[in-house]
Structure 1
Amino acid sequence: MSSEAFAPFEEKMKQAGVMTAAIEAFRHNYEALRRNESGMITEETIESAADLPTIELGAGGFDADLLSKTVVIKLNGGLGTSMGLEKVKSLLEVRPGVTFLDLIVRQIVSLRQATGAEVRLLLMNSFATSDDTLGYLADHAPRDLAERREVELMQNQAPKIDAETLAPATCAAHPELEWCPPGHGDLYPALSGSGWLDCLLAGGAKYAFVSNSDNLGAVLDPALLQWFADSDAPFMMEVTRRTPADRKGGHLARRKSDGRLLLREVAQCPDEDLEAFQDIEKHRYFNTNSIWLRLDKLKERLHEGGGVLPLPMIRNRKTVDPRDKSSTPVIQLETAMGAAIECFEGAVAVEVPRSRFAPVKTTGDLLALRSDAYGVGADGSVALDPRREGKPPVVKLDEAHKFVDSLDALGVPSLVDCDTLTIEGDVRFAPGVVIRGSADFCASGDSCVVPSGVYPRS
């Protein structure tokens, strides 16, 4: 039954040049869909993860031998469309003339210069981000960090599924809409199917640190690398404490049946368990989407699974044209990178400070990052000012400031002592504005220029 039903997908993916490892990973999920597996993880089957180890970051300095066996992988497949961009998100500027991508490259170059170790960098690009990324690197990075064959790991694409027939979805007017990203769980078939996993192992690589390119808090840390190497664990996830803002984010738990750690996303939570899912005291740990891999153990695990890492399937219901809610209903099958924690015997998780999780998802996040609440080091590191004690300012911008272009007129106030900043309407900050504590600014009608000074006024 399933092989016959899957044949049109297999043919479509082969014609599009999708690698065999990715086809088999999609087959695994499609067969689960045909069996009507929900992918749900009920509250009664799990228990809270507790008493995770914490590590003093930065301790000890880098071991050059370990670094020489390490590859840094940045997930770089996202466009900044939600922020009004039509290019790769990592080309956003953090400081004038300095992008996320510049800082990522600077981090690798600085490590090489400081230790003499040839730590490697791979960028997991998508078809939408590859050209922008490589074009930028050609002008802004050393040659071995700019050439496609040296730095690019290409993300796969997956067919959308007609929700009624479970056949490949079609969109004759826009065939590109028949495809979707497979989720960052595609890391594993991409590494294997591209040949990069074998290439890295043959070159002496043993450890991989993987994180999002828009999370500049996630830098290669000597203490974490040493701890991971000493643990002999095949997989390590970085988690941090959940806050009320993370109630809808994936959390770590432990399966009762076998004691293994697992990741539960909100899409895998039944409605009746949503209250427990959002209980940040019960489920205390939030997945930062930064993981560590033993590449040799990954190779072994893939071999055991016939080339497939059996990640839990996430089922998303959409329309084939996301801008047209009347278009054909489809199912998009995705997997989460962090969900691999349950696929490895002996996988571990460590608690890290919130400062290692500073992704830029909104223009409010970007404004905070551009402010003096964060410092940018010569080595490409980005860190919260020590006075903030690991707590970033919360910046809330209205719809008028949804897109990046709106920040140019807004200006950048001092936020090093800010708790919460809320802006509505055409507000503009003059140079020298300092926010302390919590402040709200609202402009109704004409623009409002906030003059230099400390706010809120005492």
Structure 2
Amino acid sequence: MGSKGLAIARAKMQDAGVDPVAVDTFAHYYRLLEHGETGMIPESTIDPLDMEALVDVEVSDDVAAEAIGRTAVIKLNGGLGTSMGMDRAKSLLCVRRGLSFLDIIARQVLHQREKYSAPLPLIFMNSFRTSSDTMAALARYQDLQVDGLPLEFLQNKVPKLLASDLMPAAYPKNPDLEWCPPGHGDLYTALRGAGLLGRLLDAGYRHVFVSNSDNLGAVPDARVAGWFAGTGAPFAIEAVRRTQSDRKGGHFARRRSDGRIVLRESAQTLDSDREALADLDRHRFTSTNNLWFDLRAMTETLDARQGILGLPLIRNVKHLDPGKPSTPEVIQVETAMGAAIEIFEGARTIEVGRDRFVPVKTTNDLLVLRSDIYDLGQDFVLDQATESVPFVDLDSDYYKLVGDFDKRFPEGAPSLRRATSLVVDGDVTFGRDVSVVGDVEIKAPSAQRVQASTVLGPHG
């Protein structure tokens, strides 16, 4: 059963031109699946993790400047934003002042280059679906590409496997749905396959800073670079304190068997451990997905492992066509790039401010980002104008998709600077210059409009 399925999957990947290292990596995880590996991390095998905070670390200006001068920046940009109804790169979404995520990322990096007289190359890991749109949008920034290095490389793709027998799924009516991305843990495989690790080392770079393109808080910060260089660590991840919104998400812990730091994702948590996962006092830190690694350490480790880093398996069970529950269940073989922290002895974590973690996964997040909660300075860095970020929950029947969301905020986002929370239940359109103060809940049994300049308080 298994060997036949793997042989067919290998041939399918080779026929599609998938990089040989990625094919071998997929085969590694296929064999784990055959042997019943689930990737689960039981609570009984881990302890809570504490860590130092960036605010308590001293980094001299010289050390910071030296470190950022030897740093390359990679942005993960393979997502289409399909959960928000998009069919192109999510990073093309307008954030404010007519600027997209890509515009702001490019301008952040260009500003940092000028500030520190550093080359600071910027490289995007695109998917075959986001590449052309992304490169077209970046064409206006003629000085963005650094000589000798590309502006992009492509992530790999792997076959979806039928849960019943691990055979590669077939879907002739939409062959694209036979494939899935192998999670952002594919970063290391794709970098190696593209030859970028060696090119960056040959060009004199020592460190790489990686983050998601939908997190505009993830600026390539010289102080964090200086901290990382000073530790001598091979690998590090920026962490933030978990909040109520992170209760179902992953967290850091220390593995009892060997003392290594691990990143446990929700998909790796047993049902019996869900209560511990949600305990914000026990597991206090979550990953920002802002990570740093030493190029030489990464290269040597991959070489020693024949190109297969061996990240923990994430066995993601979905339907072949996600929009049709009637289609067969499939297993998507995935890995998380942050899980590489357990591969490296001496890896570190550091607590950073929430200003370095501003991800946009839903239109709730997008409304906050477009509001006046953040100022966008001349350095294009987001400055949080309030002590805390308000909780926003918009009715998914009317706001989940970007097109519907935009129709209901035709004059822009309301002011949220004095808001604690905004919950909208129903179909509500907001006029210009609306302000939200305190805890506001709107229940609209039928479509309604909030008039321009309205101040919404706790009692409507």
Query: Shorter-chain TM-score: what band?
Result: over 0.9
For residues 147 and 173 of structure 1, do their structure 2 counterparts lie closer, same or farther at Cα, with a shift above 3 Å needed? farther
Alignment correspondent of 1:84: 85
Larger mean Cα displacement after TM superposition, 316-325 or 198-207: 316-325
Asked if 2 retains the 8 angstrom alpha-carbon contact of 1:18 and 1:156, the reply is yes
- 1:349: Cα distance to partner? 0.6
- 1:68: Cα distance to partner? 2.5
- 1:143: Cα distance to partner? 4.8
Alignment correspondent of 1:54: 53
1:396 aligns with one of 393, 396, 412: 393
What does the per-residue CA deviation read over 1:135-192, in whole Å, with 9 as the maximum and x for residues that have no partner?
1111x21254399962102110011112222121111222211100100000010111
Alignment correspondent of 1:375: 375
- 1:332: Cα distance to partner? 0.8
Alignment correspondent of 2:342: 342
- 1:22: Cα distance to partner? 1.1
* 2:455 match: secondary structure: strand
What does the per-residue CA deviation read over 1:62-120, in whole Å, with 9 as the maximum and x for residues that have no partner?
74432231111111010122112221100111113111000100011111222221111
Which amino acid counterpart does residue 178 of structure 1 have in structure 2?
E
Mapping 1:324-335, distance limit 5 Å = 324-335=324-335
- 1:449: Cα distance to partner? 2.4
Consecutive unaligned residues of structure 2, counting only runs of 5 or more, are: none
Separation (CA, whole Å) in 2 of partners of 1:309 and 1:407 = 42
What does the per-residue CA deviation read over 1:247-303, in whole Å, with 9 as the maximum and x for residues that have no partner?
111110000010000011111111111111111111111111111110110001111
Asked if 1 retains the 8 angstrom alpha-carbon contact of 2:59 and 2:227, the reply is no
What does the per-residue CA deviation read over 1:341-361, in whole Å, with 9 as the maximum and x for residues that have no partner?
000011111111122111011
- 1:58: Cα distance to partner? 10
How big is the alpha-carbon RMSD for the aligned residues of Structure 1 and Structure 2? 2.0
* 2:226 match: secondary structure: helix
Larger mean Cα displacement after TM superposition, 246-255 or 416-425: 416-425
Separation (CA, whole Å) in 2 of partners of 1:125 and 1:232 = 30
Asked if 1 retains the 8 angstrom alpha-carbon contact of 2:407 and 2:429, the reply is no
Alignment correspondent of 1:132: 133
Which amino acid counterpart does residue 434 of structure 1 have in structure 2?
S
Asked if 1 retains the 8 angstrom alpha-carbon contact of 2:432 and 2:451, the reply is no
* 1:327 match: secondary structure: coil
Asked if 2 retains the 8 angstrom alpha-carbon contact of 1:76 and 1:212, the reply is yes
Count residues in correspondence.
453
Asked if 2 retains the 8 angstrom alpha-carbon contact of 1:111 and 1:117, the reply is yes
1:435 matched to 2:436? The reply is: yes
Alignment correspondent of 1:418: 419
Which amino acid counterpart does residue 73 of structure 2 have in structure 1?
V
Separation (CA, whole Å) in 2 of partners of 1:457 and 1:207 = 49
Alignment correspondent of 2:18: 18
Separation (CA, whole Å) in 2 of partners of 1:292 and 1:21 = 23
Consecutive unaligned residues of structure 1, counting only runs of 5 or more, are: none
- 1:441: Cα distance to partner? 2.1
Larger mean Cα displacement after TM superposition, 178-187 or 213-222: 213-222
* 1:164 match: secondary structure: coil
Runs of 4+ in 1 over 6 A off after TM superposition: 146-149
* TM-score normalised by L of structure 2: 0.94
Separation (CA, whole Å) in 1 of partners of 2:414 and 2:23 = 49
What does the per-residue CA deviation read over 1:379-424, in whole Å, with 9 as the maximum and x for residues that have no partner?
2211211xx22x2122111021112222343242111121101123
For residues 19 and 230 of structure 1, do their structure 2 counterparts lie closer, same or farther at Cα, with a shift above 3 Å needed? same
Alignment correspondent of 2:240: 240
- 1:334: Cα distance to partner? 0.2
For residues 11 and 147 of structure 1, do their structure 2 counterparts lie closer, same or farther at Cα, with a shift above 3 Å needed? farther
Which amino acid counterpart does residue 402 of structure 1 have in structure 2?
K
Asked if 2 retains the 8 angstrom alpha-carbon contact of 1:427 and 1:450, the reply is no
Alignment correspondent of 1:358: 358
Which amino acid counterpart does residue 14 of structure 1 have in structure 2?
Q
Alignment correspondent of 2:110: 109
Separation (CA, whole Å) in 1 of partners of 2:408 and 2:148 = 37
For residues 225 and 172 of structure 1, do their structure 2 counterparts lie closer, same or farther at Cα, with a shift above 3 Å needed? same
- Identical amino acids, percent of aligned pairs: 47
Separation (CA, whole Å) in 2 of partners of 1:163 and 1:2 = 12
For residues 441 and 30 of structure 1, do their structure 2 counterparts lie closer, same or farther at Cα, with a shift above 3 Å needed? same
